[in-house]
Amino acid sequence: MKCIKINESQKNRLFESYNSDLYHFTNLEGIYGILQSNSLSMVTTDDEESVCLSRTSNPYIGYMPNTRYGLIFRLTLDTNKMQSSIRGMNIKPWSANNPRTSKIGNKFYSVSDYEERAYRDIEPLDEYCKRIDVFPEIKGNKLDKEQISILEKMIRDFPNWKEYIHIHC
């Protein structure tokens, strides 16, 4: 086994850049507000004001929708485009306040959390959103007639978002 040495400059670049897509998960009520405003707006959580994002695309890890309709919506966001064109966009791992995180020196290392936080509203969203995927709340379930009807109505209500929406039934 050969060990590779990483200098301080390389270490800093590893922690400072993020070049993959990020995801935002929401429920039916949330997606209506998002599509209507064409924005992912910061919300105040228990510890700060931010937009919650995820590094994982898996809708069944770490997110539980608070909805009676049994639908999960995943927005895929172009991180590079957001960081290059939204003035002052700052995206950081949510680790400083995460109990599953350790602090080593000045850096926080998250052991099991996929969450990132953006500290600006993401708008206009249609410039940064690649797609919106819809999943049943329980992995392996099929969407029922009521859920399909709800999604058809949503597409009628927001025809300009139709090309973004992909239903996994």
The encoded tokens of residue 11 equal 């270490």
DSSP bridge partners of 93? 116
pLDDT at 112: 45
- CA–CA gap between residue 109 and residue 75 (Å, rounded): 26
Q: b/e per residue, 27-62, with b = 16+ CB within 10 A?
A: bbebbeebbeebbbebeeeeeeebbbbbbbeebeee
Asked whether residue 144 is domain-assigned, the answer is yes
- CA–CA gap between residue 125 and residue 123 (Å, rounded): 4
- For the segment 67-105, what is each residue's pLDDT rounded down to a tens digit? 789 999 999 999 889 888 877 677 776 655 555 555 666
Question: How many domains does the chain fold into?
Answer: 1
Asked whether residue 1 is domain-assigned, the answer is no
Asked whether residue 94 is domain-assigned, the answer is no
Asked whether residue 95 is domain-assigned, the answer is no
pLDDT at 111: 45
Range of the domain at 141: 23-88+116-167
- Tell me the pTM: 0.78
Angle (deg, nearest 10), helices 145-157 and 28-37: 10
pLDDT at 48: 80
Element (H, E) at 111: none
Look at residues 42, 61, 75, 52 and name the one whose alpha carbon lies nearest to residue 166.
75
- CA–CA gap between residue 22 and residue 75 (Å, rounded): 8
The encoded tokens of residue 28 equal 């039916």
Asked whether residue 96 is domain-assigned, the answer is no
- CA–CA gap between residue 22 and residue 56 (Å, rounded): 7
Asked whether residue 142 is domain-assigned, the answer is yes
Asked whether residue 8 is domain-assigned, the answer is no
User: Residues of the chain whose pLDDT is less than 50?
Assistant: 1-3, 9-17, 111-112
Asked whether residue 127 is domain-assigned, the answer is yes
